[in-house]
Structure 1
Amino acid sequence: MLPLLLLLGGMMLAALAAQLLLEGSGYVLLVTPDGLMSLEMSFWTGLILLLALLLVSFFVLRVLGWLSHPLRGLHLRQQRYQAQAALKTTVRGLVDLAEGRWKRARKLLVKAAPKSGTPLINYLAAAQAAHYEGLEEEAEQLLKKAEQSTPDARLAIDFSQARIQLDQGHYEQALATLVRLYEQVPKHPLVLRQLRDTYLTLGDWKPLLALLPALRQAKVATSAELDQLEERAYLKRIEDLRHQWHTGAAGSCLQEEVRLFWQHLPKKWREKEAIFSQWIGLLFDLQSWTQAEQLLSQRLKQHWSSEWIELYGRLPAEVEIKRRLLQAEKWLHDRPDDAALLHALGRISQQAGLWGKAREYYHASWSIQRSGAVALELARLLKALNEPELSQRYEREALGLLIQHLPRLPLP
């Protein structure tokens, strides 16, 4: 379209000039300021002289420019030649890198970097080759040269550095680099994936949980995979809290951290059986009996579990003993043949000092399901009630159940 427009414009100007010639040539009058000299000519003659003057001026300026820098052309030609040579060397280096010839690739890329139009690419690729060679200090130096050559490319340099650190197994250093990257590009899928994998490797569950909303928004995995990851992270986080309690690493602030954790835990995960059981175990470790009793009572009304009713019976006597006994007996109306519930009722009755009732509940549980724990607790109660023969009988029953689970080994 451009040549066509220029042609049309030229034709229009020619038609205009022809029209002007037909109407009259006109004239140009040049007079000096003092009026002593004057020059008169036709308009077209003046226009031709003006164009000729412009062409001569352009030519003179070009000659003067060349005379002032007579070697500029040679210098520019040399620069182009060097750039082409550097490009060819860079391409050979990248090919060697792709084919696994690390040493040769590193040397070619470093050699071409100063004359290359993109030294950043040369130094980053050379750092990768040095890493594959096992020259970690050399790789670090090449990354520094990459930053010096292109200070604005810090993001690309951090990406390469994080990848090298992860390959080396330097996860703590890689984590610092990835956190810096995450602050710059919080929605970048590669950064999110690498940050997730690093947290998993280090077992750093608290920041991983904080990262999960960004992982979901970026869709770095399927919804089901992220749900599994989130459940695992919550379970591991509770395990960490229990470990801190047993080792004394958390100090006095653990109780508050535990309270805030459950308070901010989404309802979806509170209802997960595995997470709830782990949480009750933590409350038992912390001896937070009141909260444990409230949660267990509420959950058992919604969803029955032999594991949870067993824990309900393990609560100490000072925790709402009368109310717990009444509640458990209400449950017994709906579940008269539940061995775990009868066992729990035996324990609660024994805590309340109701020896006869405790004995009946233990015996009822034993008659439904033979359990070593029930037999031993019943034996202990019978011994205290001065029934040694019956106590010894249940002790033998418990020992027999234990022996059944022993491996078969030769005897003398």
Structure 2
Amino acid sequence: MKRLLLIVLVIAGLLAAGFLAPALVRDPGLVLIEFGSWRVEMSLLVLVLGVLVAWLLMSLFTALLRLPGRTLRRARDRRSRRQLENGFLALAEGDWRGAERALRKSLQHQDSPAGYLAAARAAQGQGDSDRRDRWLALAGGRFGRRSFIAGLARARLLIGEGRTTEAVPVLEELHLKKPRHNGVLRLLLEAYQDAARWRDLRLLTPALRRAGVVDRQRADDLAVLAAERELDACVDVAELETVWKELGRRLHRRRELVAAFARRSAELGRPELAAKPLRLELSESLDDELLGLYAKADESERSARIAECEQWLEKTPDHAGLQQTLGMLYLAERRYDEARGCLEQAVRQRPSSEAYEALGRVLDRAGKLEAAAQCYRNALRLRSGRGVEPLPPPE
């Protein structure tokens, strides 16, 4: 920039001289300088040339005075850049001690945010978290506008060290500063998963989608996964009900979450909580897992559930899962003949250990001991991954 300005000034001076030369030839002008008894007379052109010569001499003298210091600074900067390069090369080779030593020498003479961050990585490679934190503090303190980068580097190093819980607050603070920063969002996604912070992960999915980190389908899958893990982690019924209400209507219609809610409700001794969500989901599409959970949902409303299953069976008479569910419900209501018919059809269409075990109970109660024993054996065979054996012919 300075060189360009000097060129412009020289060109302007030459143009001005060319414009004024004819006039100065006709009338060179007169400059009179009087000081005490001294009097100096000269033409205007001589004065201008004298000023220019004096300025050039002063500039040359100043440059000569600054030359030793400038030469030393250039040599020091070259050494600093060479040490910085050596530090990066040692870092790439995994020589943590050599990298930090070279970077320290470089940073003594020339500040570099990349150098401070690289030195922090080298210190972490040696297992020295205190030195790593000092390097990161220097990077954040000396480069205010780049403190965001220093914070991001700190979070990466903490995650790499397995200290995810310490990295999360750093990343959350960075996320508040730049809500759409891809690097921060990706690290938050990783940190929330590692720390099992499923609610935070579920709430993060809209930001991930808006920033383009994941597409809509992936964002929906992440939200469902986080919500499922969140339901599984509930420790009591009150927390389970709170989490379920917070999920909202859209997630309430996801089969995976309905199943997770029903399973956790049963585990906490309140299976009736999931009766309504199960009924709504099954009315849309029959699913074997949901049917099995629906059979255990609410003992006080078993008759109503039997009636609903009978209506569904009229529409899909060959659905093995529905036959098994209805057979289990009949068995619980002690309607043994109807239970036997449904369960026998279920094991013919699609054998399962649960259906064989329930059918064994029905046959045992009916006095069909040999057939009941074979049903129990078949249930065990299916659990161990073997095939079933035919039941004895009816007596």
Q: What TM-score results when the alignment is normalised by the length of structure 2?
A: 0.75
Amino acid at match of 2:132: A
CA deviations on 1:255-290 (whole Å, 9 max, x unpaired) are 2232222x25447xx23x333322332344456666
Pair 1:25-2:24 in alignment: no
The offset of 1:310, in angstroms, is 3.4
Matching residue of 1:120: 113
Once the two structures are TM-superposed, the CA of residue 211 in structure 1 deviates from its matched residue by 1.8
State the match for 1:78 in structure 2.
72
**Cα distance in 1, alignment partners of residues 272 and 382 from structure 2:** 36
Summarize the alignment of residues 59-98 of structure 1 with structure 2, pairs less than 5 Å apart: 74-98=68-92
User: Which amino acid in structure 1 is aligned with residue 279 of structure 2?
Assistant: S
Matched residue of 2:108: which SS?
Answer: helix
Q: Describe the SS at the equivalent of 1:258.
A: helix
- Cα pair 1:340 1:365 within 8 Å, conserved: no
Task: Choose which of 359, 374, 383 in structure 1 pairs with 2:358.
Answer: 374
- 1:364 alignment counterpart: 341
Query: CA separation of 1:214/1:123 partners in 2, compared to 1, >3 Å: closer, same or farther?
Result: same
Give the alignment partner of residue 132 of structure 1, picking from 107, 125, 138. Answer: 125
Q: Residues 46 and 129 from structure 1, CA distance in 2 versus in 1: closer, same or farther, beyond 3 angstroms?
A: same
Q: Distance in 1 between matches of 2:336 and 2:45?
A: 128
Match of 1:295 among 271, 277, 301: 277
Which residue of structure 2 lines up, in the alignment, with residue 401 of structure 1? 378
- Match of residue 239 from structure 1: 232
CA contact (8 A) 1:102 1:133 kept: yes
Q: In the alignment, which of 11, 14, 20 is matched to residue 18 of structure 2?
A: 14
When residues 217 and 153 of structure 1 are mapped into structure 2, their CA distance, relative to the original with a 3 A threshold, is same
1:163 aligned residue (139, 151, 156) = 156
Which of 249, 254, 257 is equivalent to 2:243?
257
Per the TM alignment, residue 110 of structure 1 is displaced from its structure 2 partner at its CA by: 0.9
Cα distance change of structure 1 residues 139 and 186 upon mapping to structure 2, 3 Å threshold: same
Distance in 1 (CA, whole Å) between partners of 2:24 and 2:134 is: 75
- Tell me what 1:48 maps to: 45
Residue 329 in structure 1 maps to residue 331 in structure 2: no
Q: CA deviation at 1:212?
A: 1.7
Deviation per CA, 1:344-376: give whole Å up to 9, x if none.
44555566x6x5xx2231121233134334325
Measured in 2, the distance between the counterparts of 1:229 and 1:359 equals: 44
User: 1: CA distance between counterparts of 2:317 and 2:83?
Assistant: 85
Identity %: 21
Output the CA distance in 1 between the equivalents of 2:328 and 2:98.
Answer: 77
Matches within 5 A, 1:213-362: 213-221=206-214, 225-241=218-234, 244-245=235-236, 252-261=238-247, 263=248, 265-266=250-251, 270-271=253-254, 273-285=255-267, 292-319=274-301, 321-338=302-319, 340-346=321-327, 348=329, 358-362=335-339
1:312 & 1:91 partners in 2: Cα distance?
Answer: 67
Alignment partners' CA distance in 1, 2:258 and 2:269: 16
- Distance change in 2, residues 1:122/1:46 (3 Å): same
Contact 2:123 2:131 survives alignment (8 Å): yes
**CA–CA separation in structure 2 for the residues paired with 1:338 and 1:59:** 102
Change (3 A) 1:343 1:226: closer
Alignment-derived partner of residue 390 in structure 2:
none
Contact 1:346-1:360 within 8 A present in 2 as well: no
Q: What is the root-mean-square deviation of aligned Cα atoms in Å?
A: 4.2
1:105 match: secondary structure? helix
Change (3 A) 1:178 1:360: same
Q: SS at 2:300's partner residue?
A: coil
* C-alpha separation in 2, matches of 1:340 and 1:87: 72
**Alignment partners' CA distance in 2, 1:406 and 1:95:** 58
Tell me, yes or no, if the aligned pair for 1:365 and 1:374 is still in contact at 8 Å: no
Residue aligning to 1:106: 100
8 Å CA contact retained: 1:343, 1:361:
no
Paired residue secondary structure (1:369): helix
Deviation at 1:28, TM superposition (A): 6.4
Q: Matches of 1:233 and 1:222 in 2, distance apart?
A: 16
Give 1:167 shift. 2.4
Residue in 2 that maps onto 1:248: none
Structure 1 residues 264 and 6 mapped into 2: Cα distance closer, same or farther (>3 Å)? farther
User: Which structure has the bigger radius of gyration?
Assistant: 1
Distance 1:9 1:31 in 2: 25
Amino acid at match of 1:134: G
Deviation, 1:199, is: 1.8
Asked if structure 2 preserves the Cα contact closer than 8 Å seen for 1:342 and 1:361, the reply is: no
Q: What is the letter of the counterpart of residue 107 of structure 1? A: R
Distance 1:26 1:230, change over 3 A: same
Paired letter, 1:93: G
Measured in 2, the distance between the counterparts of 1:403 and 1:348 equals: 22
Q: TM-score normalized by structure 1?
A: 0.72
Runs of 5+ consecutive residues of structure 1 not aligned to the other structure: 246-250
